[in-house]
Amino acid sequence: MSKQLKIFLTVIGVVAVIGILHFWLNVGFNKSGISNSGNVAEEATFRVGFLPVTCHLTCPVTDWINTNMVGHGFYEPVRFSGWPELKEAFLSGNLPATFMLAPMAMALRQQGVPVKIVYLGHRDGTALMVHKDSKIYTFKDLRGKKIAVPNRFSNQRLIIYRGLRENEMTINDVTLLEMPPPDMPAALYSKSVDAIISGEPFMGQTEMDGYGRVLYQAKQLWPNFISCVLVVHEGVIKEHPQWVQQLVDGIAKSGKWLDAGMEHRMEASEAVATKYYHQDPRLLRFVLSKPPDRVTYSNLALAKNDFEKIADIAMEAGVLSGPISFDEYADTTFSSKTHDTQPYSWSPTQ
Amino acid sequence: MKKRLEVLLLPLLVVFLFVSVWHIAVKVSGSEIFPTPVEAIAGIAELFRYGVLFKYIVASLFRVSIGFLLALIIGIPAGLLIGWFSRAFYAFNPIIQVLRPISPIAWIPVAILWFGLSDLAPIFLIFLSSLFPILTATMAAVQNIQLVYLRAASNFGVRGLALFKKIILPATMPQIITGVRLALGVAWLVVVAAEMIAVNSGLGYLIIDARNAGKRYDLVVAGMILIGAIGLCLDLLIRRLQRLDEVRWGFQSMMQ
Amino acid sequence: MTTASIKIHLRDLGMTFDGKGNGTSIRVFERITLEAREGEFVCIVGPSGCGKTTLLNIIAGFVKATEGDVLIDGSPVHGPDRRRVFIFQECGIFPWLTVEQNIGFGIMDRSRREQKEHIDHYITMVGLTGFGNAYPSELSGGMRQRVEIARALVSNPDVLYMDEPFGALDYFTRLRMRAELISIWEREKKTILFVTHDVEEAVQLADRVVVMSRRPATIRTVIDVRLPRPRDLDSLHYIEVRNKIFEAMGLDHSGLGVHEKSPAPL
């Protein structure tokens, strides 16, 4: 009997020690840990989802600047590793707001999810890469090739459709593969695919490491290209419009701040890479500077025209099942108040 | 003594050969992406220097131990009851057999939708993946109890709760322990998938984080090595249960 | 033979096993009527598969007969009872308990002191002094069988049912166990029903030997073994009784596989 008790107590003891250590090391210093159900009511715990890509850079940058300027951010940036997990967390109500692929947001709206696009995340910031040894030099050379795209709902997939259309090719002329962007560089390196396309910095990485070649920057195929947008739950717009406005303003300010000077971008690269993305800072520095307009963060207000172009191709690609009106999936209230927004007046060297 | 030396040296030799082949293969292929063993070990050292090594191990152990403990608390009693009462078996066995082969990875969306962004989602996945081996092993163990023990017990008037405590549980314990050992292996196996969900610590997270980090496959492999090594330690620990006096009989091939 | 009262009365027992699904049912035995007196040692022998074990299981209350009843002290048996303990062919002691815990299993409701006394007494009686804390897996087959006998005796039952208890033991251990069983029986005067397929064993142990036929089995005959104990295995009378049993079983004893000694001439 006492032996069973001893084993029981040992197990309980060990688990308790692990539990205490876990809460101390991984939860205690970090308010993001265990809190669970949608604490939408409490402003301090509003969460905004993002992926470690440049399309979502304004999310960590806004938090970083606010933390430095006033000591704390006004939302908790939550990093995800893939689109499906991010989408599911948003659907579960655990994320009141998140950065998301524009066509994905439109498709979710069409499927009845109460989601609204309130602002853009960036412009451009996507490249179509091929292996430097490959003989692919124009879009037409992609005929019969395998191209990796991040997600079926990604604008990167739609840009391929647009390229095909302009080059009088069809989707049957290429093979599209869905692949998480972090896996794309290795796939290109091992030549398992002929071309890859996704948001930065995964494209720049192949260039920096010397085996990738830019076939096109997004803007060459689709001027003013948008990949990701800022979306919020409709309920949050209704109940906390002032917070949504604050969020949109923050994104607008940090976007303009990022475009206000290369030194800002270099500082942001350092901070975001180490604190938020856990990447080599050289990577972000590379994609944010070579060339500087590889990705831009100004001019992020919602424009109907941009989205109608997306909707058009999205229908062709089967992402949308039919026409959907701009007003249904977008809410320009917040975006329209950002025209005069000035960049954050802060510099890390101050 | 000689045997002991062999038991220690032979596996080390195989590991050494494996690591050498790995090193040579990376060098010969000239891969700039896949790390050599030295780089992977340096990756572990780097994690240690940044102070995340211990944190991540603790985080994964926490999720696995809570999920696994819940599976034990629910799986063993449920398995005993379902194995013992034929009506319960008819009622529950089909659904158990349907749920059992579903990979924990398939449950990821469900876990996120139900538990959102917290430790609960990975704990749920680990719980599910370890529940079924425990449940099915316990059920089978009860159904395979030697009739002679039950008859001896009923001869001495043991029934009801006392029958479970004095006969059924100890008689099934060796098989349950085998199931538990299997389940712990699976639970640890699932930690990578379980930590794909937006948690920000753990060895599974380390691997996913390293994939996001660009060319940090040294950290991916470092994570793999750590998961393997800790899995081995957990198995060695749980194997000690098999040496307890009360269950040792079940692991000896020659009882007669 | 003393004229003790009737302890066990089997009244026209019959048993049919339902065929599982395929409709064929097995008639195991029929019309079994038998009486055993209090304190009597009765052996049941018969060819393998004749239902000896099933019969014993029915008498002990583990299995229900399809016909007839079992009366003990005049009242019908509805299930197992701690006053009548079964000793199993495949060894029924619990491998997860020590020798002491096994022996004490039947008297757990008594005070600790009383338990200890009884356990010590029976451990000594079956010659396992010093093995109290050993687990069954550490013991030899003979020692395990003695633990089971001690476990049965400790709760002071009226009746012991023994189902080929020495079947798995080697020849010499078997001989010694038989001698020990007889000495225990002479001291404690339990009623014993003992199933075996070994005719030698039956003649060595029993007051009476019940011989069963092949399936569907009936009682072919009941033979009184009026031999003084300890029994001389070479005595003429012993061989006579033995051969009578062989005859009753319809067998030439030389063809019986269980017979280890070279067959003696008739």
Q: Collect all residues of chain C within an 8 Å Cβ-Cβ radius of residue B252.
A: 137
Question: How far does B98 lie from chain C, in Å, by closest CA?
Answer: 27
Query: What's the confidence (pLDDT) of residue A132?
Result: 87
Which of the four pLDDT bands, split at 50, 70 and 90, describes residue C257? very low
> What type of residue sits at position C143?
M
Instruction: Pick from A14, A51, A78, A88 the residue to mutate for testing the B interface (most B CBs within 10 Å).
Output: A88
DSSP state at residue A280: -
Query: What's the confidence (pLDDT) of residue B129?
Result: 93
Question: How far does C81 lie from chain B, in Å, by closest CA?
Answer: 5
Beta carbons within 10 angstroms of residue B52's beta carbon? 19
Query: What's the confidence (pLDDT) of residue A309?
Result: 84
Query: What's the confidence (pLDDT) of residue C265?
Result: 45
Laid out side by side, the sheet with C67-72 consists of: C26-37, C6-17, C67-72, C75-76
- Reply yes or no on whether the pLDDT at C112 is more than 80: yes
Nearest residue in chain C measured CA to CA from B148: C92
DSSP track, chain C: ---PPEEEEEEEEEEEEPPSSSS--EEEEEEEEEEEETT-EEEEE--TTSSHHHHHHHHHTSS--SEEEEEETTEE--S-BTTEEEE-TT--S-TTS-HHHHHGGGGTTS-HHHHHHHHHHHHHHTT-TT-TT--GGGS-HHHHHHHHHHHHHHT--SEEEEESTTTTS-HHHHHHHHHHHHHHHHHH--EEEEE-S-HHHHHHH-SEEEEE-SSSB-EEEEEE---PSSP-TTSHHHHHHHHHHHHHTT--GGG-TT--SPPPP-
Question: Which helix (H) or strand (E) segment is A279 a member of?
Answer: none
The CA distance from A335 to A117, in Å, is: 10
User: In the structure, do chain C and chain B come into contact, i.e. share 3 or more CB pairs under 8 Å?
Assistant: yes
- pLDDT tens, B33-72? 788 898 889 889 988 888 888 888 999 999 999 999 999 9
Residue range A271-294: mean pLDDT, rounded: 84
Query: What's the confidence (pLDDT) of residue C251?
Result: 67
Query: What's the confidence (pLDDT) of residue B131?
Result: 94
Query: What's the confidence (pLDDT) of residue C254?
Result: 54
- Reply yes or no on whether the pLDDT at A316 is more than 70: yes
pTM, full prediction: 0.78
- Reply yes or no on whether the pLDDT at C260 is more than 60: no
- pLDDT tens, A18-53? 888 888 887 754 444 333 333 333 445 688 888 888
Query: What's the confidence (pLDDT) of residue A210?
Result: 85
Residuewise pLDDT in 10s, chain B (256 residues): 677 888 888 989 999 999 999 999 888 887 777 888 988 898 899 888 888 888 889 999 999 999 999 999 999 999 999 999 999 999 999 999 999 999 888 888 888 888 877 788 899 999 999 999 999 999 999 999 999 999 999 999 888 899 999 999 999 999 999 999 999 999 998 888 888 776 778 888 888 888 777 677 888 899 999 999 999 999 998 888 888 888 888 887 544 3
Query: What's the confidence (pLDDT) of residue C3?
Result: 56
Between A101 and A346, the more confident residue is A101
Query: What's the confidence (pLDDT) of residue B79?
Result: 94
**Beta pairing, strands A47-50 & A76-79:** parallel
The CA-based diameter of chain B, rounded to the nearest angstrom, is 74
The CA distance from C192 to A301, in Å, is: 99
Q: Among residues B159, C159, B151, B33, which one has the least CA distance to residue A208?
A: B33
Three-state SS string over C207-242 comes to CEEEEECCCCECEEEEEECCCCCCCCCCCHHHHHHH
The CA distance from B10 to B6, in Å, is: 6
Residue range A182-193: mean pLDDT, rounded: 86
Give A126-221's CATH code, choosing from 3.30.70.330, 3.40.190.10, 3.30.360.10, 3.90.1200.10: 3.40.190.10
Question: Which helix (H) or strand (E) segment is A269 a member of?
Answer: helix A262-271
The CA distance from B198 to A81, in Å, is: 7
Count of CB pairs separated by less than 8 Å, B with C: 59
Nearest residue in chain C measured CA to CA from B151: C62
Count of CB pairs separated by less than 8 Å, A with B: 121
Which of the four pLDDT bands, split at 50, 70 and 90, describes residue C264? very low
- pLDDT tens, A108-140? 888 888 888 888 888 888 889 998 888 888 888
Query: What's the confidence (pLDDT) of residue C253?
Result: 52
Query: What's the confidence (pLDDT) of residue B253?
Result: 56
Degrees to nearest 5, angle at CA A231 with A226 and A233: 165
Instruction: Pick from B29, B52, B58, B238 the residue to mutate for testing the A interface (most A CBs within 10 Å).
Output: B58
Query: B36-249 in CATH: which number?
Result: 1.10.3720.10
Inter-chain CB proximity B167 and C155 less than 8 Å: no
Query: What's the confidence (pLDDT) of residue A121?
Result: 84
The CA distance from C78 to B52, in Å, is: 68
Residue linked to tokens 């079947």: C167
Query: A43-124+226-338 in CATH: which number?
Result: 3.40.190.10
> What type of residue sits at position A13?
G
The CA distance from A281 to C236, in Å, is: 105
Nearest residue in chain C measured CA to CA from B253: C137
User: In the structure, do chain C and chain A come into contact, i.e. share 3 or more CB pairs under 8 Å?
Assistant: no
- Reply yes or no on whether the pLDDT at C252 is more than 70: no
Between B120-143 and B53-84, two packed helices, what is the crossing angle to 10 degrees?
A: 40
Inter-chain CB proximity B212 and A279 less than 8 Å: yes
Query: What's the confidence (pLDDT) of residue A43?
Result: 41
- pLDDT tens, C131-186? 989 999 888 888 888 899 889 888 889 999 999 888 878 888 888 888 888 988 88
Domain ranges of chain B: 36-249
Residue range A74-83: mean pLDDT, rounded: 83
Domain ranges of chain A: 43-124+226-338, 126-221
Question: Which helix (H) or strand (E) segment is A292 a member of?
Answer: none
* ipTM of predicted complex: 0.84
The CA distance from A336 to A333, in Å, is: 6
